[in-house]
Amino acid sequence: MATVLDDIISGVREDLKTRMRAIGPVQIIEQAAAAPAALDAAAMLAAPGPVKIISEVKRKSPSKGELATIPDPAELAGSYEAGGATAISVLTEQRRFGGSLDDLDAVRERVRIPLLRKDFMVSEYQMFEARAHGADIILLIVAALDDRQLHDLFQQSADLGMTALVEVHDEHETERAVELGARVIGVNARNLKTLEVHREMFGKLAHLIPDDCVKVAESGIRGPEDIAYYVSQGADAALVGEALVTGGEPSQAVRTMIEAGARARQGVA
């Protein structure tokens, strides 16, 4: 039986074919080569200091449906940056998340911090596409890739100067990410095959991730209290979408989360 993840990837592949007919592989490679060099997002996420917040431009999701209209993604991203976000995540998957590469372009023009192309990466073309549109970080979902695909796309991200955020959800996936040599590993509390959220998953998997890796908490973050919880479990960073696009003042919301993380870190220390 097909899972939610299977259905999403099927749609991603169909949309990818359409884009490839419009812009061929040779052209997208040329565009990627002409783009300014990627920022070293891994170093920024690993830098000493408060918990790092990756703030997301997210219109909707398969689990919650419509979240926010976001008429101006660049303005929202600018507010995130002003609030102290370390990086901006932009959804580019269109069917389930309402995103686009146009959103990525608009945000790239506005902010000077690292930019994550948040999508379901399954091909080399998408990697060049991400770089051509100014992404510094790409998402590799271990559950969506076999070992060869994961290795090849991870290597390609390095060749293009981008940071790979390697996403896991269980013990086996975490082992695969560590063996890969990932520097930034995200633990998604949401199982993409069922859409169920288990916030305790981060704590269960964090000890399997080497301390020299950046440990990113993903999903299930409703506010500052969840940031504090994840930091107490060893999170270095958090990817936050829904709570920021639905919570009112995004700049202040980011600041509040950073402050909550700082207090939690002091308590652990």
- Compute the distance between CA of residue 188 and CA of residue 257 in angstroms, rounded to an integer: 18
Among 52, 55, 56, 93, which one carries the catalytic annotation?
Answer: 56
In order of 74, 116, 127, the CA distances from 112 in angstroms are 12, 12, 20
Q: At what angle do helices 224-232 and 250-268 cross, to 10 degrees?
A: 30
H helix or E strand, kind and range, residue 261: helix 250-268
Q: Is 219 a catalytic residue?
A: yes
**Which listed residue (52, 55, 58, 93) is catalytic?**
58
Burial 158-192 (b: 16+ CB within 10 A, else e): eebebbbbbbbbeeebbebbbebebbbbbbbbbbb
Cα separation of 213 and 205, whole Å?
13
Q: Which of 61, 188, 191, 251 is catalytic?
A: 188
What is the Cα–Cα distance from 261 to 269, expressed in whole angstroms?
A: 12
Among 55, 157, 191, 219, the active-site one is 219
37 DSSP assignment: P
Residue 190 has what DSSP assignment?
B
From 81, 93, 129, 218, active-site residue: 218
Distance between first and last Cα of the chain: 46
Q: Is 81 a catalytic residue?
A: no
| Catalytic (active site) residue 60 | no
Per the annotation, the verdict on 191 as an active-site residue is: no
Is residue 56 annotated as a catalytic residue, yes or no? Answer: yes
Task: Point out the catalytic residue in the list 93, 167, 173, 242.
Answer: 167
Query: Which candidate in 118, 173, 191, 242 is catalytic?
Result: 118
With DSSP H G I counted as helix, E B as strand and the rest as coil, what are the percentages for the chain, rounded to 5?
50, 15, 35
DSSP state string for 4-27: HHHHHHHHHHHHHHHHHHHS-HHH
Residues involved in catalysis: 56, 58, 118, 167, 188, 218-219
